[in-house]
A and B are shown apart, each in its own frame.
Chain A
Amino acid sequence: MYEHDVIVVGAGGAGLRAAIAAHEEGADVALVTKLHPVRSHTGAAEGGINAALREGDDWELHAYDTMKGSDYLGDAPAIDTFAQDAPEEVIQIEHWGMPFSREDDGRVSQRPFGGMSFPRTTYAGAETGHHLLHTMYEQVVKRGIEVYDEWYVTNLAVTDHDDPEDRQCHGAVAYEIATGNVEGFWARNGVILATGGLGQAFDHTTNAVANTGDGCAMAYRAGVPMEDMEMIQFHPTTLPSTGVLISEGVRGEGGILYNDEEERFMFEHGYANNDGELASRDVVSRAELDEVNAGRGIEDEYVDLDMRHLGEERILDRLENILHLAEDFEGVDGLDEPMPVKPGQHYAMGGVETDENGETCIDGLYAAGETACVSLHGANRLGGNALPELLVFGARAGHHAAGKDMKTAEIQTGPSAKSEDGDVAPPVEPGAIEAGGEGDVAADGAMVEPKETLEHTVQQEQDRIETLLEDDGINHAEVRSNVQESMTENVNVFREESALEDALRDLRHARERYEDVAVADPSRTYNTDLIHTIETRNILDVAEAITLGALAREEFRGAHWRKEFQERRDEEWIKHTMLAWNDGTPELYYKPVELESQWKEYEPKERSY
């Protein structure tokens, strides 16, 4: 058994920032990650990092833009905290050597981004995430922070008190990929989940193969509610054949979208008369698909993104990486011709319910970054707001877990924050095939001692892995691809009740099939078959949560469009959809959105760009 004050699960941007923060507070902190830190998907972020740094801009404007972008589903205490902390965090990484793009006077450059009222997006070419990830990993090396790389965390050690709010997290169990060794990681202070996105629940995604929603699924099964899971961002500019992301920076620098009739449709068809291509991502994604559905798509599939008019010099200076991506993954020379683009799954706004300090309702369990839902992004995340989020809330979670004295959070978490029971009628039973029978937190009150909890969880994971390795059964890959295909077909940009029900049926079928899954590779050495099989279980749980949320939310807000409900319905729906695992029988309920913080109060307005 390994022992540390703070265990951080995942070593992308949020995890690295959390580890550095905990270390700053004097904690003995360790990163446990299924990849090596520099392989994390933060490295694929392209566009930039928003922060109000300059004269004429201030945090309140950034907060206002973020709240508007969230379509009034973001919580004001989270948004205001975020916008206030972002400038310090951005300058902090500059002090850590981040190679930002620069102005003539040597200061950090900022460019316009969608939904921003001020050009406040700092960037490093079109490979901002790569530089951010490496800069922070360098600081982890400098501090000598312990990294357990290629250790896959498969479960959390959480006591099984009846009420999730009474439970405590004492650590995690991880599988060493190289050797097959299963070990307990005892966390004296806390565990921070920073496992990133869940894009692998879909089959056309900008997300890495590793983004399987592990943190969400583990926290969910341990009793932490999932918040606003239906809020999935589809990025408007992904390459059609692979889902590789083409940065919003292209449009920020002046790139233009054209349909098959060479119309600049964002303006000519009235989707966003003021901001055009730089409208919020949900708006642009829907516009593109509307064009395709109206028969004006190119090859009935995509639209063109043209940046040629920016000139070679500017493109090479600020967007060079885009040229490589378009060439390598679509065979297109962006200097010479427009790039084909279509919407692709990009980001989960929802996730593990936390407060502004990264705390979940389970004592000692935190989440930060894309895994978490504070809620900062509400129904739609603005471009350039994900990287500052992982800095701000990664740092806050790290500080808090290490024992720093912080202001009490305003946001309420856990089932006690419930304001209303949920009302959703799925066509099939959601949740575990055999509720309570698969080693989730059992909630029978039997296991409450810290060490016993960890030991029990280690045993449980060893048994689970042995069973998967020893049994005969079907391979997980087909189950996974069925889920991905159904999600992309039925729970996409445009959603309707019958398709969402189809998805739930498909997911139920996939869950049943998963009961027969086994790992064919008998080896204890670097068994990726086993890792992927465990991941697929996580994908099932998050995909179902997304779909249940989408079926429940009967309105059109932000990224969530419903055929039957074409309007934002503020009177009824300014509330978060919450999903509790509830020992394998998921329960949907609502909690209020906080439109007021100690600093500001927001009034929902019509969202137009």
Chain B
Amino acid sequence: MSTIEQETETEEPTDEAAETAVESPGERRRADKQERTRERDQQRVDEGISESEEAITLKVFRYDPEVAGKEEPRFDDFTVPFHKGMTVLDALIYSRDHYDSSLTFRHSCRQAVCGSDALFINGKQRLACKTQIADLDSGTIRIEPLPHQEVVKDLVVDMEHFYDQMEAVEPYFDADELPEDELEEQRQDRENREKVKMSTRCIWCGACMSSCNIAAGDNEYLGPAAINKAYRFAMDEREGEQRKQERLKIIEQEHGVWRCQTQFSCTEVCPKDIPLTEHIQELKREAVKNNLKFW
């Protein structure tokens, strides 16, 4: 695996693959096949450009640990016909389906709720599906995987560490007690629901974690998303006081809320507008209040 710091820029796909020494017949076949595909792709790129009046250029990070010519990270250019309303995700899909079917990125819902396509677009963490090309105001768009995460291939990063941090805060509702009648709901007043509302919007995209300097330097730091998840439960009055105490202990640990230096980078990049830094600050205050109480 490679991290993004190792990137090098090269030109459009060349015939490197053919020149690379291959060992087994299978590998040779694959290399030949890849070469033919590239030629075909280049042809289609040329056709695409000539048809299009208005076009934009994507500069896309490429890396594949096992494919000749891609083991060293590089950037590929794709020229895509632009239409009004086109998002960065649309342009990536166009590039993949018309030029290079090996271009790899996660995406699913296309409407900013599945959280699959957080990418580093023109130097900022954004959801590709929610980013209008027109809003970027540049003819060339640079698209990279989320920084500070291991790159698996092209724009796909390994999310395991992010998921581990999320799970470290015991991210599940766990009330001290429930109504006895299985058909009776717990009561929650509107104010309390309102209080946790923003925190429940998290779509686990990982943009915040990727933007956070502290998380970059301290791999054990829970990070903004996980702390926000803890906030979501700690502030939910349905859980009860005992559970809240346990939750505060988790976020107060060495690599918890106190690591945050309120740089607001997470809040700035959150595609769901969750006030992450405020939530972290509020948990710090809760923790202090709590510790005073037990003195």
Contacts and interface: CB of A to CB of B under 8 A. Distances in A.
A472 B171 contact: no
B64 A97 contact: no
Interface stretch (B52-60, B195-203, B252-260, B274-282): B195-203
A108 B185 contact: yes
A131 B167 CA distance: 17
B173 A97 contact: yes
B156 interface: yes
Given A127-B201, A525-B152, A472 B101 contact: no
Nearest to A476: B101
A178 B152 contact: yes
A96 interface: yes
B273 to A, nearest CB: 9
Contacts of A407: none
Interface in A353-371: none
Interface stretch (B110-118, B208-216, B285-293): B110-118
Contact of A529 (B102, B110, B233): B102
B171 A138 contact: yes
A39 B112 contact: no
Contact of B36 (A470, A472, A478, A523): A472
A237 to B, nearest CB: 14
Contacts of B175: 95, 97
A107 B264 CA distance: 36
B85 A331 contact: yes
Contacts of B189: 102, 106
A524 interface: yes
A524 B104 CA distance: 12
A88 B114 contact: no
Given A41-B109, A104-B190, A525-B153, A94 B185 contact: yes
B110 A242 contact: yes
Contacts of A127: 113, 201
A335 interface: no
Contacts of B124: none
Given A91-B183, A105-B187, A35 B116 contact: yes
A537 interface: no
B178 A138 contact: no
A36 B107 contact: no
B97 A477 contact: yes
Contacts of A216: none
Contacts of B85: 241-242, 330-331
A524 B180 CA distance: 52
Interface in A447-485: 469-470, 472, 475, 477-478, 481
Contact of B233 (A38, A97, A139): A97
Contact of B110 (A101, A209, A469, A525): A209
Interface in A149-190: 178
Contacts of A250: none
B33 interface: yes
A328 interface: yes
A101 B191 CA distance: 11
A244 B204 CA distance: 20
A426 to B, nearest CB: 29
B284 interface: no
B236 to A, nearest CB: 7
Contact of A520 (B34, B106, B174, B196): B34
Contact of A130 (B66, B100, B113, B130): B113
B104 to A, nearest CB: 5
Among the interface residues A104, A142, A475, A519, which one has the most CB atoms of the partner chain B within 10 A?
A: A475
Interface string A246-287: 000000000000000000000000000000000000000000
A178 to B, nearest CB: 6
Contacts of A139: 172-173
Contacts of A329: 111
A241 B132 CA distance: 13
Contacts of B106: 39
B238 interface: yes
Nearest to B273: A324
Nearest to A41: B109
Interface string A204-245: 000011100000000000000000000000000000011011
Nearest to A242: B110
A135 interface: yes
B153 A522 contact: no
A602 interface: no
B65 interface: yes
A599 B162 CA distance: 50
Interface string B157-169: 0010001000100
Contact of A525 (B64, B130, B193): B64
A399 interface: no
A481 B239 CA distance: 49
Q: Number of contact residues on A: which range applies?
A: 35 or more
Contact of B186 (A94, A209, A470): A94
Given A39-B116, A44-B113, A134 B193 contact: no
Interface string A98-121: 011111111110000000000000
A102 B189 CA distance: 7
Nearest to B85: A241
A521 B101 contact: yes
Contacts of A241: 85
Interface in A16-35: 35
Contact of A134 (B96, B107, B184, B200): B200
Nearest to A472: B33
Contact of A138 (B26, B67, B172, B183): B172
Contacts of B112: 324-325, 328
Contact of A107 (B66, B153, B185): B185
B37 interface: yes
Among the interface residues B110, B115, B167, B182, which one has the most CB atoms of the partner chain A within 10 A?
A: B110
B229 to A, nearest CB: 9
A413 interface: no
B242 interface: no
A520 B183 contact: no
Given A97-B238, A142-B174, A477-B97, A106 B114 contact: no
B30 interface: yes
Among the interface residues B111, B189, B239, which one has the most CB atoms of the partner chain A within 10 A?
A: B111
A290 B132 CA distance: 33
A498 interface: no
B114 A39 contact: yes
B13 to A, nearest CB: 12
Contacts of B187: 105-107
Given A35-B108, A36-B159, A39-B114, A328 B153 contact: no
Contact of A523 (B29, B64, B107): B64
Interface of A: 35-36, 38-41, 43-44, 53, 87-88, 91-92, 94-97, 99-108, 124-125, 127, 130-131, 134-135, 138-139, 141-142, 178, 208-210, 241-242, 244-245, 324-325, 328-331, 469-470, 472, 475, 477-478, 481, 519-529
12 contacts: A35-B108, A91-B185, A97-B172, A100-B188, A103-B190, A131-B200, A244-B111, A477-B96, A477-B101, A520-B100, A521-B102, A529-B102
Please list the 8 inter-chain residue pairs (A to B) with the smallest Cβ-Cβ separation, ordered nearest first: A97-B173, A106-B187, A521-B102, A138-B172, A522-B30, A142-B172, A477-B97, A520-B37
Given A39-B116, A100-B185, 10 more contacts: A39-B114, A95-B175, A97-B239, A141-B171, A141-B172, A209-B110, A329-B111, A470-B26, A470-B33, A520-B100
